[in-house]
Amino acid sequence: MGNRQFRDHLHLRSEGTSLLLDCTGDRLPRVLHWGADLGELTGAALTAVATAAAETQLMSGTVDIPVEVGVLPELSAGWLGTPGLSGHRDGRAFSAAFSVRELAASAGNGVVVDATDKQAGLSLRLELELELTASGLVRQRAALTNDGEGTFTLDGLLLALPVPSHATELLDLTGRHLRERAPQRHEFTEGTHLRENRRGRTGADATLVQVAGERGFGFRTGEVWGLHVAWSGNHRSLAERTSGGVSLLGGGETLLPGEIRLAPGASYESPWIYGSYGRGLDELAGRFHGYLRGREHHPGRPRPVTLNTWEAVYFQQDLDKLKALADAAAEVGAERFVLDDGWFRHRRDDRAGLGDWYVDEGVWPEGLHPLVAHVRGLGLEFGLWFEPEMINPDSDLARAHPEWIMSTGGRTPPEQRHQQVLDVGRPEAYAYLLERISALVAEYAIDYLKWDHNRDLVEAGSGPAGVAGVHAQTAAVYRLMDELRARHPGLEIESCSSGGARIDLGVLERTDRVWTSDCNDALERQQIQRWTGLLLPPELMGAHVGPPASHTTGRTHTLDFRAGTAFFGHLGIEWDLTEASREDRDRLAEWIAAHKELRPLLHGGTVVRGDHPDPALWVHGVVAPDRSRAVYALVQTATSPNISPGRIRLPGLDVAVGYRISPLAPGDRGGRYATERLSWWGGGVELPGRVLSTLGIQAPALFPDSLLLIDVRAVRDAENTAKEGTRR
């Protein structure tokens, strides 16, 4: 890659995606095309395509040179939008003009760029690559080094990817505690649509993926481009369109004032910024899923069905009660038992004890050993809840070390949920957490940590001077998780944060699943899981069967709707099974058995979602990689405006193959009307994949808040199936 052709233009290809880079001159690379595969381009053809893509037109009222927007947009190039680099050296060096010193091939399918601005006293190392795994994701990050004299104060570093002018709509996500991942979409107008998070964690209202797309794009239609910031602290993502015709997506870390001050020779490394292109949101999401599944540390064994004790006992922990709960869990087929909040000193409610990571001798005079032995005797794994980054003012730790509470130095931030934030960036606090958690993991051979984080970081100052500390806190938590996993091979960690408030690819580099939401109401979960799936595959999303009446909404749903909603994710139970009826426990065992049988498909297949016109009827499913089998869910989320829901199309099937479709037990009960309407295909009917994915089948009328599972299996070639269908 060291030849002149590489220095001029570079065309990267992977899984239907092309990334065309202009590396001419000594400025930072410019992305000429990111999107659909352009095919094989070499020599003169590559030069011609790149030259055509790079053409710009000078307009009145602008600088007298073409404004070329690099992956780190620079004011010095004439760019007057959001700058890629914001900072200064006591007011000087506020604008950089990086000159490329070297371009080299990266270990992946990409390029490493070393550039410098001698006048500003800065150097930049940029990594840009197109993943060669099954994903076809673009990702980039940058490291900035202070080569000059004195301190350089970095205010922000933003990396960008352009999108074409026909991307005229934007979609991102917002939400709140108990209602995460709510979609919002609108026109991509001129100006900046900025989503900035200052919560100190990813946030329940995080955008997750900033998407630009063709007008009217859906899950299966329209070109879409999405950007994700892989960072668990403060961050920002933006969609920007200028009057000069430039449209881009950008992202990076949001830095608090004075948070990054680079001494001579010091460096700052940005988080990875991921970009995904697709024809429809399913393909965009599938690239993220493929990337995650291709990692060496992606969970490789079947995801254990997990019972978590929170909604069964809350803080009222009792050995006999928990043993009975473990017995019931094993009986229905659970494989992991997780003891939630309330096991450590002084923790009878949420007002005290956080930080005192010692087993409470008053509740557990023999430690957790009797419970752990009982759980393991049933063949279950054992997991334990922690909230390491938080501290109650009413705790032995806070009384011994009040200076470990994050603050500005002159005042204490307002409490949230009766707790403050522990300054993990302080070496002594970090060492305390590492020792305590590691000791407990070793003593009880803990398999799994539920790692919670239940408040925002407000005025998160660190150290005696109370300097801004969110960046250092986030980096320290990453190191803590990494060190615990290194000390205890095989330890799994769940990212929980008031439910789904810490879901990003940064924390998922060191965790094995996320808790998608504290809300187990199946109706709310349908939307939460649907849109969390824009980034994560099902096996990383904790999805539990709650009790008949939801703890958070008070709504009541049937067991089949609750279990069918959790069925596709990392299945679990959040319910006091000791109080469940025998009928319910037997029915739950049926659902768990079916989930285990289908786990390889559910957690290894391609996630698909249909663009059904009736907003009350959702269609989603998982298709095997070879498309030999699929499982779909028809979900009635409300009363339909029409008497008949119409035909539903089953996406993702092989159009050249015939399939047998039939209801899938135990999700084959959709209500009285569904049973009547299923009579024509209830015993199984064969149709070509082309028919199922284009013409579709008549949907049964379902009760609101119910679902139906459909089993689809390849049987023979489409021609024979079509002939048989004609005879019928």
Q: Which residues are catalytic?
A: 452, 518
Question: Which residues have C-beta within 8 Å of that of residue 80, sequence separation ≥ 6?
Answer: 242
Would you say how long the chain is, in residues?
Answer: 728
* The two three-digit tokens of residue 29, written as one number: 């690379």
CB 569 within 8 A of CB 542: yes
Other beta carbons within 10 Å of 642: 11
DSSP 552-587: TT--B--HHHHHHHHTTSEEEE-S-GGGS-HHHHHH
Cα dihedral 596, 600, 605, 611, rounded to 10, equals -10
Cα distance between residue 484 and residue 438, in whole Å? 7
DSSP 154-186: EEEE-EEEE--TT--EEEEEEEETTEEEEEEEE
Residue 417's nearest CA partner among 391, 399, 388 is: 391
Residue 574's nearest CA partner among 517, 629, 531, 514 is: 517
Angle in degrees, CA 448, 454, 455, rounded to 5: 150
**How far apart, in Å, do the first and last CA atoms of the chain sit?**
61
DSSP 55-98: -----TTS-SS-----SS--GGGT--SS-SEEEEBTTB--S---
CB 68 within 8 A of CB 27: yes
How far, CA to CA in Å, does 599 sit from each of 34, 295, 510, 624, 653? 35, 19, 23, 11, 19
Question: Which residues have C-beta within 8 Å of that of residue 215, sequence separation ≥ 6?
Answer: 168, 169, 222
DSSP 102-146: EEEE-SSSEEEEEEEETTTTEEEEEEEEE--SSS--EEEEEEEEE
Cα distance between residue 473 and residue 215, in whole Å? 41
